[in-house]
Structure 1
Amino acid sequence: MTRTIFDTEELDSIRDLARKFAQERVAPGYQKRENDGQMDMALVREMGELGLIAPELPEEFGGMGADFLYSGVIIEEIARADFTFAYVSLLASLNGQILNAFAKPEVARDWLPGLVSGEHMLAIALTEPKGGSDAANLGLRMERDGDHYVINGEKTSISANQCAKGVVTFARTGRPEDGARGVSAVLVPLDLPGITTSKFSNMGQNQIGHGSIWFDNVRVPAEYLLGDEGKGFVQVMQGFDFSRSLIGLQCLGTARQSLDETWAYIGERRAFGKPLAAFQGVTHQLADFDTKVEAARLMSMNALWLKDRGLPHTAEAAMTKWWPPLLAYEAIHACLLIHGHAGYAQDLPFQQRLRDVLGLQIGDGTAHIMKNIIALERAGKDAVRA
Structure 2
Amino acid sequence: MSAGAMNPYITEELRALADMARRFATERVAPGFLARDQNRVLDRDVMREMGAMGLIAPELPEEFGGLGMSRLAAGVIHEEIARADLSISYINLLASLNGQILAAHGVPGVVAPWLRKLVAGEVLVAIALTEPRGGSDAANLRLRVERVGDDYVLNGEKTSISAADQADAAVVFGRTGSVDSGAHGVSALLVPMDLPGITRARFDCHGQRAIGRGSIFFENVRVPVNHRLGDENKGFVQVMQGFDFSRALIGLQVLAVARAALEETWDYVAGREAFGKPLSAFQGVSHPLADFDTQVAAARLLCLQTLWLKDQHLPHSAEAAMCKWWGPKLAYDVVHQCLLCFGHGGYDRGVMEQRLRDVLGFQIGDGTAQIMKTIIARARAGREAVPA
TM-score computed with the length of structure 1 as normaliser: 0.99
User: Can you give the 5+ residue segments of structure 2 that lack an aligned partner in the other structure?
Assistant: none
Deviations 1:324-363 (A, max 9, x none): 10000000000000001001111x3110000000000000
Identify the residue that residue 382 of structure 2 maps to in structure 1. Answer: 380
Structure 1 residues 141-180: aligned runs within 5 Å: 141-180=144-183
Query: Within 2, Cα distance between the matches of 1:274 and 1:383?
Result: 56
Identify the residue that residue 210 of structure 1 maps to in structure 2. Answer: 213
Structure 1 residues 267-286: aligned runs within 5 Å: 267-286=270-289
1:105 to 104, 108, 111: 108
1:25 matched to 2:28? The reply is yes
For residue 3 of structure 1, report the CA deviation from its aligned partner.
2.7
| Aligned amino acid, residue 89 of structure 2 | A
For residue 163 of structure 1, report the CA deviation from its aligned partner.
1.3
For residue 107 of structure 1, report the CA deviation from its aligned partner.
1.2
Query: Within 2, Cα distance between the matches of 1:87 and 1:23?
Result: 17
Query: Within 2, Cα distance between the matches of 1:163 and 1:253?
Result: 25
The alignment partner of 1:355 has SS state of: helix
For residue 108 of structure 1, report the CA deviation from its aligned partner.
2.0
Identify the residue that residue 96 of structure 1 maps to in structure 2. Answer: 99
Aligned-pair identity in percent equals 63
1:295 matched to 2:298? The reply is yes
1:196 matched to 2:183? The reply is no
Deviations 1:164-198 (A, max 9, x none): 11000000000011100000000000000000000
The alignment partner of 1:3 has SS state of: coil
Identify the residue that residue 138 of structure 1 maps to in structure 2. Answer: 141
| Aligned amino acid, residue 290 of structure 2 | A
Query: Within 2, Cα distance between the matches of 1:332 and 1:84?
Result: 16
Deviations 1:267-317 (A, max 9, x none): 111111111121111111110000000000000110000000000000000
Query: Within 1, Cα distance between the matches of 2:237 and 2:177?
Result: 13
Query: Within 1, Cα distance between the matches of 2:14 and 2:110?
Result: 31
Query: Within 2, Cα distance between the matches of 1:325 and 1:384?
Result: 24
1:52 matched to 2:71? The reply is no
Identify the residue that residue 311 of structure 2 maps to in structure 1. Answer: 308
Identify the residue that residue 367 of structure 1 maps to in structure 2. Answer: 369
Query: Within 1, Cα distance between the matches of 2:182 and 2:204?
Result: 32
User: Can you give the 5+ residue segments of structure 1 that lack an aligned partner in the other structure?
Assistant: none
Query: Within 2, Cα distance between the matches of 1:191 and 1:108?
Result: 16
The alignment partner of 1:38 has SS state of: coil
Identify the residue that residue 355 of structure 2 maps to in structure 1. Answer: 353
1:342 to 345, 352, 359: 345
1:66 matched to 2:95? The reply is no
1:221 matched to 2:221? The reply is no
Runs of 4+ more than 6 Å apart: none
Deviations 1:33-88 (A, max 9, x none): 01100001011000111100000001122211000001111111111101111100
| Aligned amino acid, residue 369 of structure 1 | I
Query: Within 1, Cα distance between the matches of 2:301 and 2:23?
Result: 23
The alignment partner of 2:174 has SS state of: strand
For residue 384 of structure 1, report the CA deviation from its aligned partner.
1.3
For residue 131 of structure 1, report the CA deviation from its aligned partner.
2.4
Query: Within 1, Cα distance between the matches of 2:190 and 2:37?
Result: 28
TM-score computed with the length of structure 2 as normaliser: 0.98
Number of residues paired by the alignment?
385
Identify the residue that residue 116 of structure 1 maps to in structure 2. Answer: 119
Query: Within 1, Cα distance between the matches of 2:41 and 2:133?
Result: 28
The alignment partner of 2:87 has SS state of: coil
Identify the residue that residue 231 of structure 1 maps to in structure 2. Answer: 234
| Aligned amino acid, residue 60 of structure 1 | E
Query: Within 2, Cα distance between the matches of 1:73 and 1:243?
Result: 13
